[in-house]
Amino acid sequence: MAAIVSAGFARFGKRKDSIMDIAAESAMPVVRSHRDEIDFALVSNCYSGEFNGISGINNLLTTYLSMDAVPSIRIDNTSGSGGAALFTAVSLVESGRARCVLLTGVEKMSERPTKEVTRIISSLLGDREKAAGPSLPSFAGLLTTLYMREFAATRESIAQVAVKNHRNGALNPNAHIQKVLTLEQVLQSNVIIDPLRLFEISPISDGAVSLLVVPDPEAPSFTDKPVHVKGIGMSSESSHLTARETLTDMPSVRRAGEIARRESGIDRPDLAELHDMATVLEIVEMESLGFYPRGEGWKAVLEGKTEIGGELPVNTSGGLNSKGHPIGASGVAQAAEVYLQLTGGAGGRQVRDARTGMAVSMAGFGNSATAAMMGLEK
């Protein structure tokens, strides 16, 4: 197995800096003290071509960081790229093909107008859905309606996810949106896709996060407090959303979570970072992961169980919802938040005595999911 031994951040938000500057900003603190050890670089990124007119970003980054000879790959799995890249990093060190992987997740989205960004991201949909014209947010709207109807969930419970995540995000200096919101503010913000409101959908963000991933036995030579990846699973589901039996359950998330759980021997983590591109997704994922029974996740939110200080804090970082969603960076940021929490570096949003955490990185609408269970014990 592998361990995370360092994390670096470039604040999420609308940034003037170039994508390469942002990527390097997050990598610098990680690289500085370990330049000679790093023997592989993975860049989690989806749209550097479409958004920034750049290809070969992985090679450009190693050049930028003066690690010319270090081999590198760009890992893409759309919004689930970060999880897929962590999975690849773990596999690389487990196979012995790398001994110290720099994993940088980065995206710079704000160079393009919102409409174009939405169109580009929706290019991951199958032909059938594309022909019908919907974007990913429209599926999130549909899912919200379906979930509320199927499980008699209140509108407030869905919006409460945004209240919680913005409260958490306001405690995260690297979050895009640092603003505490009331339930009323969320419910009265502009309708994006009925019934979803502005503050319930992740903003378009720039940003980067870097991690250092090494084999477990090597971890102590890097840090006193490694965070071990104790279990990690990936699974997929049809890209054709309309071909699925239901949208209110996510088999890819369920299966990925089962693998992470089985490998780690940990049933329930002390905290979890989930892929809340839209508020309703956090609830559906909690259920698919078995944290709460199907159709009851919304109650856990209303009861405050998923807040910092609750029985299972979810998205202490602010989640994609408030922290922002620079696509290639998001999954890496999730693992980085777990790293911060387990090593006691989460500042004002620190979960007390957190020893295990799960990060779930998702592509599309559960088209793919990677679940990583992390812990302080080896």
Residues that bind its own copies (CB under 8 A): 46-47, 49-50, 53-56, 58-60, 62-63, 68-78, 84, 87-88, 90-92, 94-97, 120-121, 123-124, 126, 234-240, 251-252, 255-256, 363-364, 367-368, 370
CA distances from 180 to 168, 177, 276, 347 (A): 8, 9, 17, 17
CB of 246 to its own copies, least distance (A): 14
| Cis omega (within 30 of 0) for bond into 226 | no
Is the CB of 281 or the CB of 308 nearer to its own copies? 281
Sign for the pseudo-dihedral over CA of 131, 363, 247, 136? negative
Is the CB of 114 or the CB of 123 nearer to its own copies? 123
Per DSSP, the residues of 252-309 read HHHHHHHHHHHHHT-SS-S-EE---SBHHHHHHHHHHTTSS-TT-HHHHHHTTTTSTT
Is the CB of 92 or the CB of 209 nearer to its own copies? 92
CB of 282 to its own copies, least distance (A): 21
CB of 58 to its own copies, least distance (A): 7
Amino acid at 92: L
Is the CB of 72 or the CB of 172 nearer to its own copies? 72
Is the CB of 96 or the CB of 309 nearer to its own copies? 96
CB of 74 to its own copies, least distance (A): 4
Is the CB of 47 or the CB of 222 nearer to its own copies? 47
Tokens 């999420």 locate to 12
CB of 44 to its own copies, least distance (A): 10
Structural contact between residues 198 and 339, judged by C-beta atoms closer than 8 angstroms: no
On the CB side of 273, CA atoms within 13 Å amount to 36
CB of 89 to its own copies, least distance (A): 10
Q: Strand, coil or helix: what is 55?
A: coil
| H or E element, residue 149 | helix 136-151
Amino acid at 147: Y
Is the CB of 252 or the CB of 315 nearer to its own copies? 252
CB of 142 to its own copies, least distance (A): 19
Is the CB of 178 or the CB of 236 nearer to its own copies? 236
C-alpha to C-alpha distance for 67 and 30, rounded to whole angstroms: 13
C-alpha to C-alpha distance for 213 and 374, rounded to whole angstroms: 12
Q: Strand, coil or helix: what is 38?
A: coil
Structural contact between residues 22 and 207, judged by C-beta atoms closer than 8 angstroms: yes
CB of 195 to its own copies, least distance (A): 27
